[in-house]
Structure 1
Amino acid sequence: MDRGMVGSASRGRLHVGVRRHGASAVLTPVGELDHHTAELLREPLESCVDEGCSRLVVDCSRLEFCDSTGLNVLLGARLKAEAAGGGVHLAGMLPVVARVFEITGAEAVFTVHETLEAALAD
């Protein structure tokens, strides 16, 4: 499941890399996740689960911003992945993104890892 880069270069605000790592799909959003770009992450998250990979690791180390729409995309993916017997793991969140999860309490419903390596080792 190597999809390379997914997204619209014309928007230039978010690109999502998707690759397979063992039993996990690793998604790496790069840029800003907001109401203008949320579909660029929603589609590959849902596709991974639809294709049988329900353990999703989102490498947030290059995610510069996340608003409530982005948070809702991740929450929706979590529900879909859990229904398929998996889950969503978040890794390497920058402080500005981690703050959104802290303020909303969403960090309590995700498995959060300091690094991508830790998420993949779990």
Structure 2
Amino acid sequence: MMNSYTLVTGGCGFVGRHLVNRLLNDNHHVVIVDNLYSGIHPDLWLDNSLKSNVTFHNLDARDFFASSKSFEQKFDNVFHLSAVVGGRIKIDKDPISVAQDLSIDSEFFNWTVKSKPEQI
């Protein structure tokens, strides 16, 4: 979809960065939400010619979904990549991180019910 508004949570991680670049090259306006816990700030990887089509929120996705900022724009597409990273070790050894990860998803799904993006 050309000239669409697209939300990418976790957009500064490895997968997110590649997705954001692809979306920008396809003429999307991209809103990135990432707390940069394991991601890289867009200023370090985003081509200057594409920055005008990006809005970056350095926030935990849960805080974004709870804020009025998340409702300022109707999103055509949403890619939810925010997660607590760590793989199997996190799952087995850190139940609090697992709960945090599930709360990110819970807030996301509650937000989608209210904001009704075109595609998820």
TM-score, with length taken from structure 2? 0.40
Q: Which has the larger share of helix?
A: 2
Q: Which structure has the larger Rg over C-alpha atoms?
A: 2
TM-score, with length taken from structure 1? 0.39
User: Which of structures 1 and 2 has the larger relative contact order (alpha carbons within 8 angstroms, sep 6+)?
Assistant: 2
